Amino acid sequence: MPFENTENHRSTGGWIEVVVGSMFSGKTEELIRRLRRAQYARLTTEIFKPIVDTRYSEEDVVSHDEKAIRSTPVEAAQNILLLANQVDVVGIDEAQFFDQGLIDVCNELANAGTRVVVAGLDMDFQGKPFGPIPALLATAEHVTKVHAICVRCGNLAHYSHRKAPSKKLVLLGETEEYEPLCRQCFNQIKNK
């Protein structure tokens, strides 16, 4: 079950929540759900995404099932600190695309009393830890791992298999470029 804030955040200080999984697992949907609940609770919120993520919208954070929430695209993690002044809850989507400075930014916000909700891929298309996510997992108070469904066998999937021939680490795409796979199906393809 996903983590829910059941206490008044203003009296308990800040913390970091990280939502990870493969592509098509519902990470962004969960981020949007948590931020909307904070808004319903009349907490001030700001949502950020990397400026390179323009798949569905230049500005909004949008899930694969087309749920959307207003966000601010930023070029570097450090910019979040400048724009998140006096905010109760900060949301950060596609965290794997940010620089390593995101770890310090999240910790600084949490130390200042802000609830920080981060969503991102925990592994790249090769099945290796991705960007600042491993360190965020280590420092977060709450971690949620969500799973997609393997398109080959129907088991739980947590790998993002790249179907496109590119070897670039960052390749924005959707179902044409990527598919979620379980460990067994991912290893079968990788070992071919």
User: Is position 49 within any domain?
Assistant: yes
pLDDT per residue as tens digits for the range 9-28: 444 689 999 999 999 999 99
Number of domains in the chain: 1
Domain containing 46 — which CATH number? 3.40.50.300
Can you tell me which residue has the tokens 């067994």?
184
From the number of C-beta atoms within 10 Å of its C-beta (0-12, 13-18, 19+), residue 35 rates as buried
Say whether pLDDT at 51 is over 60: yes
User: Is position 91 within any domain?
Assistant: yes
Say whether pLDDT at 7 is over 60: no
Q: Comparing C-alpha atoms, which of 81, 84, 68, 75 is closest to residue 51?
A: 75
User: Is position 70 within any domain?
Assistant: yes
User: Is position 172 within any domain?
Assistant: no
Is residue 6 within 8 A of residue 50, CB to CB? The reply is no
Catalytic hit among 94, 108, 174, 176: 94
Q: Which of 120-134, 150-164, 167-181 has the lowest mean pLDDT?
A: 167-181
Distance of CA 36 to the CA centre of its chain: 16
The helices-and-strands tally (H runs, E runs) of the chain is: 6, 12
User: Is position 181 within any domain?
Assistant: no
Q: Which of 33-37, 40-44, 66-70, 160-164 has the lowest mean pLDDT?
A: 66-70
What pLDDT score does 31 carry?
94
User: Is position 78 within any domain?
Assistant: yes
What pLDDT score does 147 carry?
97
Q: Comparing C-alpha atoms, which of 50, 139, 34, 138 is closest to residue 88?
A: 34
- Whether 66 is a known active-site residue: answer no
Say whether pLDDT at 61 is over 80: no
SS3 content of the chain, % helix, strand, coil (to 5): 30, 25, 45
Which tokens hold the place of 28? 């962004």
Range of the domain at 86: 9-147
User: Is position 1 within any domain?
Assistant: no
User: Which H helix or E strand runs over 145?
Assistant: strand 142-145
What pLDDT score does 98 carry?
94
User: Is position 168 within any domain?
Assistant: no
Q: Comparing C-alpha atoms, which of 66, 122, 55, 65 is closest to residue 95?
A: 122
Q: Can you give the pTM of this predicted structure?
A: 0.86
